[in-house]
Amino acid sequence: MASGQALWLDVRYAAEFGQDGLQGALNIPLNEIRSAFDLLDKNKEYIVYCHSGRRSSAAAFLLAQYGLKAFWLRDGLVAEKVEA
């Protein structure tokens, strides 16, 4: 992953994102991801996250199928809070 090239993509609902979303992250809920494909830059890399990793893994798969370079946080934000 090229330094400074990746964008954070939160695939939780807007209410969840509003509670503890990462500053500067994009918020596109998983159920809206397909309709947002054309809004995303194919020259960028995306780090996809959610609460537990389930939605982000599905979203990363869909993004990859569309031709975007996507990575996901395996255990989501839950893991980060436990380790902090």
Cβ neighbours for 40, distance < 8 A, ≥ 6 positions apart: 46, 63, 68
For residue 84, name the pLDDT band (cuts at 50, 70, 90).
very low
Pairing of strands 26-27, 6-10: parallel
Which of 47, 50, 63, 70 is catalytic? The answer is 50
8 Å CB contact between 72 and 64: no
Q: What is 6-83's CATH number, 2.60.40.10, 2.60.120.10, 3.30.70.2340, 3.40.250.10?
A: 3.40.250.10
For residue 22, name the pLDDT band (cuts at 50, 70, 90).
very high
C-alpha distance from residue 43 to each of 6, 17, 40 (Å) = 10, 25, 9
- Collapsing DSSP states into helix, strand and coil, what is residue 43? coil
**Domain segments of the chain as ranges:** 6-83
pTM: 0.87
For residue 80, name the pLDDT band (cuts at 50, 70, 90).
low
Q: Is 50 a catalytic residue?
A: yes
25-65, pLDDT tens digit by residue? 999 999 999 999 999 999 999 999 999 999 999 999 999 99
